[in-house]
Amino acid sequence: MSKNEQNWGPNTRLVRAGLHRSQFEETSEAMYLTSGYVYQSAEEAEAAFVNDGSRYVYGRFGNPTITLFEERLAALEGAEACKGVASGMAAVFASIACQVRAGDRLVAPRALFGSCTYILNDLMSRFGVACDFVDGTDLAQWEQALSKPAKAVFVETPSNPSLELVDLKAVAGLCKKAGARLIVDNVFATPLFQKPLQLGADIVVYSATKHIDGQGRCLGGAVLGSKEFIAGELAPFLRHTGPALSPFNAWTLAKGLETLALRVERQAASALSLAHLLEGHVKIASVRHPGLASHPQHELAKRQMSGFGTMLGIEIKGGQAAAFRFLNALEMIDISNNLGDAKSLITHPATTTHQRLTPEDKQRQGIAPGLLRLSVGLEDEKDLKADLMRGLAAV
Ligand SMILES: Cc1ncc(COP(=O)(O)O)c(C=O)c1O
């Protein structure tokens, strides 16, 4: 960033950071769809490989359109460096796998997206890396788990789908003592409403598929952190294992960032208003949203988030059958397991995203048979209310 760019506000960063115009002086960012690069001489090729990072050499290592996305997201996050990858799960996996060795120990809360649990529990153990799970809302459990050394701690806050929060400042302090790096999956909070690095985290990961694209068009992911970590540990891992982001997707995501604040602020306002509307309805057992005073960690949400997000948990009375009746009666909100989209999307986590969990784990994570996860989109609030009331009438 130039001197002036460092003073830019977040909205300016979202539309202008990372813009390096080509010789054609285009207004909109150019898209470089190329897998390789050419050299004017054999000596130039040799120099490019000696002075690693001095220029683009191959699509798996870097691309100008991917750099645009990385620089724009890093500018918003306030991170020294960023690497774009093919999906959110590629970001989660690489952020962990690039730094662990057999014999290392990880710690994580139980409330996680199903694939994150798979990586931490099923996959890491195959390589001799153990993961201890705690109740992420209970600081005493964190203190105990981090009273012994650990290599890294991985958290989602708010978590998918139970919207549980982890006290990032407190856990970051415990991580320092345990010698562990704190990795935060910030998908539910969005880069707008929560700044984990400012709260003491070391690494932030995103599924850019969600709010960053925000229009359901492509997959992508990102890992952000210090230059030392990104260049020294993550970049070599990505280069040799190959979860590269497509330049086309990087362009789509960079353009998605331009409207991120407008979209997410509107969606979050609607989500809070719908949470208030639904709370206390006779056919609803509970509504979960960090912005509701009834959320057990509402005070923490107010402390560590500048907005409460676009996601709601709605537990319908009557279990799975009632939840399915609700879903099947909807006429506008789509049944879909994606989230963060301009279109409102709803899913039944117990039978979709978290289907693999045992009944005990579902219970421990608060994934009740009647729980629905609603991702609030950009539709008019009156139309969303009408559709939700249609669903409730069918229960
Ligand atoms: C919290 C969280 N992390 C990671 C992912 C994975 O993202 P992707 O689908 O882009 O791989 C998801 C997807 O739903 C998610 O909700």
Check pocket membership of 209 for ligand 1, CB cut-off 6 A: yes
Mean pLDDT, the chain, rounded, equals 96
Which residues, 6 or more positions from 333, have their beta carbon under 8 angstroms from its beta carbon? 344, 345, 346, 374, 384, 387, 388, 391
Of 93 and 364, more confident: 93
d(CA 212, CA 251): 11
What is the atom index within ligand 1 of the atom nearest the CA of 92? 4
CA of 317 to the centre of ligand 1 (A): 28
Check pocket membership of 213 for ligand 1, CB cut-off 6 A: no
Q: Cα dihedral angle (59, 64, 69, 75), rounded to 10 degrees?
A: 130
Check pocket membership of 221 for ligand 1, CB cut-off 6 A: yes
pLDDT at 50 over 70: yes
CB contact at 8 A, 366 and 357: no
Check pocket membership of 156 for ligand 1, CB cut-off 6 A: yes
Check pocket membership of 202 for ligand 1, CB cut-off 6 A: no
* Residue identifier of the C-alpha nearest atom 6 of ligand 1: 88
Check pocket membership of 311 for ligand 1, CB cut-off 6 A: no
CA of 89 to the centre of ligand 1 (A): 6
CA of 87 to the centre of ligand 1 (A): 8
Architecture of domain 5-258: 3-Layer(aba) Sandwich (3.40)
pLDDT digits (tens, 9 = 90+) for 13-48: 999 999 999 999 999 999 999 999 999 999 999 999
Residues 383, 386, 390, CA angle at the centre, nearest 5°? 140
d(CA 95, CA 223): 7
d(CA 314, CA 287): 5
* Residue identifier of the C-alpha nearest atom 5 of ligand 1: 88
The reply to whether omega before 161 is within 30° of 0 (cis) is yes
pLDDT at 90 over 90: yes
CB contact at 8 A, 373 and 346: yes
Proportion of the chain above pLDDT 90, given as a percent: 95
pLDDT at 311 over 90: yes
Delimit the domains of the chain by residue range: 5-258, 260-393
Q: Is residue 299 packed enough to be buried (19+ CB in 10 Å), middle (13-18) or exposed (0-12)?
A: exposed
pLDDT the model gives residue 2 = 56
Check pocket membership of 113 for ligand 1, CB cut-off 6 A: yes
Check pocket membership of 207 for ligand 1, CB cut-off 6 A: yes
Proportion of the chain above pLDDT 70, given as a percent: 99
Confidence bin at 3 (pLDDT 50/70/90)? low
The reply to whether omega before 158 is within 30° of 0 (cis) is yes
Displacement of CA 89 from its chain's centroid (Å): 9
* Residue identifier of the C-alpha nearest atom 4 of ligand 1: 88
Q: Has this prediction a pTM greater than 0.85? A: yes
Check pocket membership of 87 for ligand 1, CB cut-off 6 A: yes
CB contact at 8 A, 67 and 84: no
pLDDT digits (tens, 9 = 90+) for 267-300: 999 999 999 999 999 999 999 999 999 999 999 9
Average pLDDT over residues 350-355: 93
Average pLDDT over residues 383-394: 98
CATH of domain 260-393: 3.90.1150.10
What is the atom index within ligand 1 of the atom nearest the CA of 156? 1
pLDDT digits (tens, 9 = 90+) for 216-248: 999 999 999 999 999 999 999 999 999 999 999
pLDDT the model gives residue 52 = 78
Q: What is the 3-state secondary structure (H, E, C) of 183-232?
A: EEECCCCHHHHCCHHHHCCCEEEEECCCCCCCCCCCCCEEEEECHHHHHH
* Paired tokens of 121: 């529990």
* Residue identifier of the C-alpha nearest atom 14 of ligand 1: 338
Check pocket membership of 95 for ligand 1, CB cut-off 6 A: no
Check pocket membership of 145 for ligand 1, CB cut-off 6 A: no
pLDDT the model gives residue 345 = 98
What type of residue is 101?
A: R
CA of 88 to the centre of ligand 1 (A): 5
pLDDT the model gives residue 5 = 85
